[in-house]
């Protein structure tokens, strides 16, 4: 039974079977809608033929949109979070279908069918994805985990335990030179390597796992990320890799700027009323409405970023520059709401329109911290090869308290793998950031996690 379930709801099943059933739901919802309105349609045959003419484009559109909103991946979200992702996909599909029916002159496709089908699709697919995600995590959550590393092994083990997800069953934490290392690897279902494992030892461990069909993951170094997407070349009879420059082509820069201006103007219209409401709310509560701060963008150029104020006045007057934290006492009640809804970022539309920022890119940091981080991390300044952004890969895939080092990896991945499709995907995925399951729900306390990691480490040391 477990074998069948893993075939249906395992990693491959989620990428093949779940999307196929999604497409079936998209089709079935339209059939049900036609059945509901069959007595109200003036020309059922013409209406039904119009549906069949548009159907192939509708299915292709859904498949593309589902990839953008990552519906093909299991999500540890609440039902609301999953359904919100599905609703965004279905709404986008609705507009795409209406555009296609107009361009193809299939005017007989009734809008009543379109709207009813969209509601049914959202309901069917939401419940289906909640069930499929729960089955996926139920199948894999109990897998035993081994963490191999030096100083960074405990930090990774802490993250795995804190996630309370499918990799939270950490059974061993040990150094790469431990005498029982390979026994632990054979004993556990999954092995994680931290980035501070020596390169020669890492290659030995990876080769052993490949030879013995063991599952292994490793944290990439910044230098590893710079080699991603390398082009294969052949010099005489020798294969070589051409490491691509960490930069955007001029054509990409022009296209990216065009999209920034286009979407920036659209955002001005959409957020005009929220802008006015937030401005007056801040003025009524006392103090200034805007917060102006120096930040660093492309080519280390310093500019002034504009945000709605979320902290008390002169928050850093005594402390100096300090990175904000999720539980920062300097944040006002209204400021917490603005940060949670990202409404405090609205004034940055001005920065985008005048060319100081882009919609997508690494989040800009203050010169004080740029200098500090650059001394600690040699590759940090590479993130300034592109304009800073309103949102980015680190904001979509990371968390509020993701470390500077991990955010840098996301930034380098974004620059090295840049494409217009990636920008569009990140813009649309930004809508999902607010809907992740609360990290405090069912998660152990900090003291419990520290104690558990200490016990795992001590148990291994005692066996030496």
pLDDT of residue 188: 93
- Among 42-46, 91-95, 442-446, which stretch is predicted with the lowest mean pLDDT? 442-446
Tell me how far apart the alpha carbons of residues 180 and 202 are, in angstroms, rounded to a whole number: 16
Structure tokens at 427: 């813009």
Residue 77 Rama label (left phi>0; alpha psi -120 to 50; beta): beta
Tell me how far apart the alpha carbons of residues 151 and 359 are, in angstroms, rounded to a whole number: 37
**pLDDT over 70, % of the chain:** 87
Per the listing, tokens 């996630």 go with 163
User: Of 298-302, 325-329, 442-446, which one has max mean pLDDT?
Assistant: 298-302
pLDDT band at 356 (very low <50, low <70, confident <90, very high): very high
Q: Would you say residue 445 has pLDDT above 60?
A: no
Per the listing, tokens 């052993």 go with 208
pLDDT of residue 414: 94
pLDDT, tens digit, for every residue of 246-265? 889 899 999 999 999 999 99
Tell me how far apart the alpha carbons of residues 425 and 259 are, in angstroms, rounded to a whole number: 13
Report the DSSP beta bridge partners of residue 365: 296
Q: Do 460 and 174 touch, CB atoms closer than 8 A? A: yes
Query: How confident is the model over 305-317, as a mean pLDDT?
Result: 80
Query: How confident is the model over 344-350, as a mean pLDDT?
Result: 94
Query: How confident is the model over 218-224, as a mean pLDDT?
Result: 91
pLDDT of residue 196: 92
Q: Would you say residue 78 has pLDDT above 90?
A: no
pLDDT of residue 441: 37
pLDDT band at 139 (very low <50, low <70, confident <90, very high): confident
Short-list 325, 303, 404, CA closest to 362:
404
**pLDDT over 90, % of the chain:** 48
Kindly report the backbone phi and psi dihedral angles of residue 391, in degrees, each rounded to the nearest multiple of 5, phi listed first.
-140, 170
Q: Would you say residue 1 has pLDDT above 90?
A: no
pLDDT of residue 391: 92
From residue 219, give the alpha-carbon distance in Å to each of 243, 398, 456: 20, 15, 21
pLDDT of residue 437: 44
pLDDT band at 433 (very low <50, low <70, confident <90, very high): low
pLDDT of residue 184: 94
Q: What is the 3-state secondary structure (H, E, C) of the chain?
A: CHHHHHHHHCHHHHHHHHHHHHHHHHHHHHHHHHHHCCCCCCCHHHHHHHHHHHHHHHHHHHHHHHHHCCCCCCCCCCHHHHHHHHHHHHHHHHHHHHHHHHHCCCCCCCHHHHHHHHHHHHHHHHHHHHHHHHHHHHHHCCCCEEEECCCHHHHHHHHHHHHCCCCCCEEEEECCCCCCHHHHHHHCCEEEECCCCCHHHHHHHHHHHHHCCCEEEECCCHHHHCCCCCEEEEECCEEEEECCCCCCCHHHHHHHHHHHHHHHHHHHHHCHHHHHHHHHHHHHHCCCCEEEEEEECHHHCEEEEEEECCECCCCCCCCCCCCCCCCCCCECHHHHHHHHHCHHHCCHHHHHHCCCCEEECCCCECHHHHHHHHHHCCCHHHHHHCCCEEECHHHHHCCCCCCHHHHHHHHHHHHHCCCHHHHHHHHHHHHHHHHCCCCCCCCCCHHHHHHHHHHHHHHHHHCC
pLDDT band at 354 (very low <50, low <70, confident <90, very high): very high
pLDDT of residue 124: 94
Model pTM score:
0.80
Mean pLDDT computed over every residue of the chain: 85
Tell me how far apart the alpha carbons of residues 121 and 90 are, in angstroms, rounded to a whole number: 7
């Amino acid at each position: 039974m477990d074998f069948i379930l893993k075939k249906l709801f395992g990693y491959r099943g989620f990428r093949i079977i779940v999307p196929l059933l999604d497409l079936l739901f998209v089709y079935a919802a339209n059939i049900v809608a036609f059945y509901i309105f069959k007595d109200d349609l003036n020309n059922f045959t013409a209406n039904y033929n119009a549906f069949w003419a548009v159907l192939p484009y509708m299915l292709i559109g859904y498949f593309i949109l589902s990839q953008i909103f990552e519906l093909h991946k299991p999500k540890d979200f609440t039902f609301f979070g999953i359904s919100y992702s599905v609703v965004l996909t279905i709404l986008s599909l609705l507009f795409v279908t209406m555009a296609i029916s107009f361009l193809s002159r299939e005017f007989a496709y009734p809008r009543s069918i379109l709207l009813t089908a969209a509601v049914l699709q959202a309901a069917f697919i939401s419940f289906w994805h909640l069930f499929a995600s729960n089955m996926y995590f139920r199948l894999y959550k109990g897998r035993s985990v081994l963490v191999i590393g030096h100083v960074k092994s405990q930090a990774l083990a802490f993250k795995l335990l804190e996630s309370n997800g499918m990799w939270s069953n950490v059974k061993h934490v040990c150094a790469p030179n431990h005498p029982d290392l390979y026994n632990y690897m054979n004993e556990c279902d999954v092995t994680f390597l931290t980035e501070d494992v020596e390169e020669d030892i890492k290659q030995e461990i990876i080769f052993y796992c490949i030879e013995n069909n063991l599952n292994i993951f490793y944290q990439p170094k910044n230098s590893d990320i710079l080699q991603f997407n390398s082009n294969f070349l052949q010099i005489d009879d020798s294969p070589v890799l051409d490491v691509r420059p960490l930069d955007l082509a001029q054509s990409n820069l022009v296209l990216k700027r065009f999209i920034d201006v286009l979407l920036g103007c659209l955002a001005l219209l959409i957020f005009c009323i929220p802008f006015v409401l937030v401005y007056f709310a801040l003025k009524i509560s006392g103090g200034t409405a805007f917060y102006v701060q120096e930040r660093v963008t492309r080519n280390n150029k310093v500019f002034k970023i504009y945000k709605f104020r979320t902290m008390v006045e002169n928050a850093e007057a005594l402390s100096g520059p300090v990175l904000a934290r999720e539980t920062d006492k300097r944040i006002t009640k209204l400021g917490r709401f603005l940060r949670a809804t990202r409404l405090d970022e609205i004034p940055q539309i001005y920065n985008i329109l005048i060319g100081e920022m882009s919609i997508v890119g690494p989040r800009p940091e203050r010169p004080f911290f740029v200098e500090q981080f650059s001394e600690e991390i040699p590759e940090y300044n590479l993130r300034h090869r592109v304009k800073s952004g309103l949102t980015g890969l680190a904001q979509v895939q990371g968390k509020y308290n993701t470390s500077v080092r991990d955010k840098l990896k996301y930034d380098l991945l974004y620059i090295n793998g840049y494409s217009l499709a990636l920008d569009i995907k990140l813009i649309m995925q930004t809508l999902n950031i607010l809907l992740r399951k609360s990290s405090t729900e069912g998660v152990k306390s900090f003291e419990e996690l520290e104690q558990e990691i200490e016990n795992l480490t001590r148990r291994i040391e005692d066996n030496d």
